Amino acid sequence: MQVLMSETSSPGARIAAEALREAGHTVHTCHVADATGFRCTGMRGNPCPLETVSIDVAVDVRSAPLPIPRLDEDGVRCAVHRHVPLVVAGAVTTNPFGPWTTVECSVADVVEAAEAAMRPAPA
């Protein structure tokens, strides 16, 4: 499975990305690590994963229950715009992506949630 994560630098996102990789999935990121300013990989001259890979699911790990998207969640908006299933993990009590979220879960359950988001809905 091809997984898109806006960022993998926060502690929870690092844990989720590693769990997804250990389960055999490929994790792509939207951001150039340790870059300053606007970190979008596509805007910094690199290929955007959404334009070069057939992404199966987007995973967003929220470290705080904020009611608005964080700057490092810009890739989530791009994925939702392209109708990619979305998994939101971590602090989901005020998930600003609620209407577009396929599955909410804890960071510990991110692999199962990402795999479930790919399954067709029961008829």
CATH number reported for the structural domain that contains residue 9 in this entry: 3.40.50.280
CA distance 79 to 86: 8
- Mean pLDDT across the stretch 37-42? 79
Residue 35 reports pLDDT greater than 90: no
Going by DSSP bridges, is the β-strand pair 86-90/57-62 parallel, antiparallel, or unpaired? parallel
What pLDDT does 32 receive? 72
Residue 22 reports pLDDT greater than 60: yes
What pLDDT does 40 receive? 85
- Mean pLDDT across the stretch 78-97? 96
What pLDDT does 11 receive? 95
Domain with 87, as residue range(s), is 2-118
Number of domains in the chain: 1
Q: What mean pLDDT value characterizes the chain?
A: 91
Residue 123 lies inside a defined structural domain of this protein: no
Residue 92 lies inside a defined structural domain of this protein: yes
Going by DSSP bridges, is the β-strand pair 86-90/103-105 parallel, antiparallel, or unpaired? parallel
- Mean pLDDT across the stretch 55-75? 93
Q: Where are the beta strands (DSSP E) in 1-123?
A: 2-5, 26-29, 57-62, 86-90, 103-105
- Mean pLDDT across the stretch 68-73? 89
